[in-house]
Structure 1
């Protein structure tokens, strides 16, 4: 537990700020409890979605010098929390609402009602863009021919067997997008389709970036002890964080709630990374990652549905948390049944 002392401290502070924010907005205990709950779910979701991130970071950090390990675990976490979890969501609001960053920040802090109205008007584009990106992330995990650990056996084995069909994830997502597009009128349909295409292109560009980084592994290896490896890990962290940032909008459109929840989760990812490096072990729960990616797919469908019907945030949060919880429980059962500590998913 000593690895998570700072994460626990940030959790207490963050959840207290979340409850205070809810109280200021609603003026009721129920309002404070709602924001408290959303921040908690966002933190849990960020931890689960970033599980791979902790493993990749741990593997790379083992090869770095102690000095650059400390720099990544201090400066790197500041970049991760303030860059990807605060500035990036703000940029999403700026692009979606077509206002300046200063205006977006001022509105979020001083005029939440007007801010909410602007976000409501821009919600169709955010839902389509985020839903498409998340759907590609989720399906990409299951349409994998090299995936040999399956949680829901019949479904995941079938999807894995079709992984060799080129572009199958893109085809499935486009069919789903076209289906939801028909539910909108002409103007909304064009907006939904355009934003969905941008979400698809963004995912593909992130994949290309990952491929380029993989092909330049020699460069990273040559700078394992210095700035090169540090920057390498920061870019990878941004790639891993993107789905969590987008998915957060399915739970809340409040910039500060998103920042609090994802910031708490990022601190746990940092703590897990340190623990994995110092203990020399990797993931112990083989199905936890599966639950996280099922939660991603659920979030993507919710975001599509929210483009024309309101779905309470509490229901969305409970669905994702339940999937992650069940996958953790299944992992513990598997470990006990097989008499081992578990292995990575």
Structure 2
């Protein structure tokens, strides 16, 4: 809050890097770079799967939105989270379609092999056709999963150590302090965007565009587009001052509640953008499909007591329409797709980032560091 006050007095955003940076546009077009990102970034880091409210009861599950990592996460009968590749060990058929309300077991739709929720192979149809087959060797392929800060995490590599306290550091403390685990889902959307995954994330990482791209939407709430930030490893936390922040000046700092005067944003590396609004939360996840194609999911969460009855339902619908449809889809990501479409024409070999766009370079640097 103090830093935001200081920046407003200077009538400018944070300098961040203190220098102008040029980022090659090949980062958004190169198939070679994309393939290295898949191997060096997405195979080696924990990924957010979703919010824990989807996995409260035994048999509840989360299904991957990304065919490059086709997992299913389930709460087993003992209440433990388990993550598996969503593939039968017989001939690889998909086990869970997403239509199931709850799972009592994993049943293959192809030949009816059945697995318990802990991944063990329970039965083989016409088992006499497989003499000598040891069921213990045919359990589902398990992946590391964990719950932390109200979010469910999965690691794409079976042998990986999922130490989220070390990975997230103070970012995890924030999620706990904000009581993210107590939220519930309002709605989740899934859309294909014709833009590079980094291009989409970078639309969030500066306030320079807010008075212009969002002139009829966000600019009223974030009049000066002022950001302050901190980093932990590749993760970034941003605080964006809302237009009412001056109301806090002169009051006791011990009484400040940050979400009354600012929105708090997190880049949870590599592909999740998490936003704490005053009365709801947005989890945006970007699943790369190619250099110029990305699956974007947006899960909106809220506290049930804050939105009671029909009036509450109408308030949630209004917030989702504003955030998801107007701000994200029709403004931020529409311009990202516009930029992506024009990259092939060669007007720019580099994108030039000013002093207030330094977080784009910081994020790009975290990706680049892992490609070497």
Task: Using structure 1 for the length normalisation, give the TM-score.
Answer: 0.30
**Whose radius of gyration is greater, 1 or 2?**
2
Q: Which structure features the higher share of strand residues?
A: 2
Taking structure 2 as the reference length, what is the TM-score of the superposition?
0.28
